[in-house]
């Protein structure tokens, strides 16, 4: 036979439930609330030879889209088209990132001198190309990954906020995990999906 709870036990049971509920509410209020991700538009710029030689650019664009970002891929010659796309994205409130590979960095660094850019990521700038200095008034953050040969070793004195050496051939630079991993981390940070400076080199 089950004995009913006495009145005092009922009171203590109710008090216990109330205390646990209050603790849970307090914990929920104290727990950090992550803001929703920011809207990010990423313009990727291919090097000479287009898709056939810029192997990592389509992969990075695909990964960025999987993260909910708007992306477009441009040949390095399409300055006007990419300019218009960036301006349209800015008008819609998007954060703007430019990612260049090889000769694509000529276009990316040119655009950041004329447009407000939140993030510029340059992979394997070529010493054979014209690469523009970083305009700190327009570009909030800029990162360079450079390699050991003349096709990848430019930009060291162009004012990048962060410069990283990758011991890899030019054609491998855009798919090297040390590059792709950190490019994606930079984009995640811009979108607010990762705490700043979370990258590991």
**Within-domain flag for 153:** yes
CA distance 95 to 107: 19
Phi first, then psi, for residue 52 (nearest 5°) are -65, -25
> How far is Cα of residue 120 from the mean position of the Cα atoms in its chain?
9
CA distance 95 to 65: 14
**Within-domain flag for 20:** no
What's the confidence (pLDDT) of residue 137?
96
CA distance 157 to 140: 17
What's the confidence (pLDDT) of residue 34?
54
Kindly give the confidence (pLDDT) of every residue in the chain, 201 residues in length, as a single tens digit, with 9 standing for 90 and above.
555 556 566 565 566 555 555 555 555 555 455 556 689 999 999 999 999 999 999 999 999 999 999 999 999 999 999 999 999 999 999 999 999 999 999 999 999 999 999 999 999 999 988 999 999 999 999 999 999 999 999 999 999 999 999 999 999 999 999 999 999 999 999 999 766 555 555
Task: State the CB neighbour count (10 A cutoff) for residue 120.
Answer: 27
**Within-domain flag for 125:** yes
What's the confidence (pLDDT) of residue 147?
96
CA distance 201 to 180: 11
Domain span at residue 92 reads 40-191
CA distance 88 to 82: 10
Q: How many domains does the chain have?
A: 1
**Within-domain flag for 8:** no
Cβ neighbors of 170 (< 8 A, separation 6 or more) are: 102, 124, 126, 147, 149, 151, 152
In CATH, what number is assigned to the domain containing residue 44?
3.40.50.1820
**Within-domain flag for 48:** yes
CA distance 38 to 64: 13
What's the confidence (pLDDT) of residue 193?
72
């Amino acid at each position: 036979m089950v004995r009913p709870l006495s009145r005092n036990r009922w009171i203590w049971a109710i008090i216990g439930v109330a205390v646990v509920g209050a603790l849970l509410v307090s914990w929920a209020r104290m727990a950090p609330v992550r803001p929703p991700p920011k809207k990010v538009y990423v313009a990727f710029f291919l090097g000479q030879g287009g898709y056939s030689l810029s192997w990592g650019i389509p992969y990075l664009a695909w990964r960025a889209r999987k993260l909910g970002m708007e992306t477009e891929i441009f040949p390095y010659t399409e300055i006007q088209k990419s300019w218009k796309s960036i301006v349209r994205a800015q008008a819609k409130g998007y954060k703007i990132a430019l990612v260049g590979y090889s000769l694509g960095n000529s276009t990316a660094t040119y655009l950041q001198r004329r447009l407000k850019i939140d993030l510029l990521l340059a992979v394997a700038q070529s010493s054979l190309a014209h690469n523009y200095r970083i305009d700190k008034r327009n570009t909030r953050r800029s990162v360079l990954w450079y390699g050991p040969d003349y096709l990848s070793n430019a930009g060291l004195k162009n004012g990048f906020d962060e410069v990283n050496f990758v011991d890899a051939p030019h054609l491998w630079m855009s798919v090297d995990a040390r590059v792709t991993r950190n490019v994606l981390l930079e984009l995640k940070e811009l979108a607010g999906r990762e705490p700043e400076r979370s990258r590991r080199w």
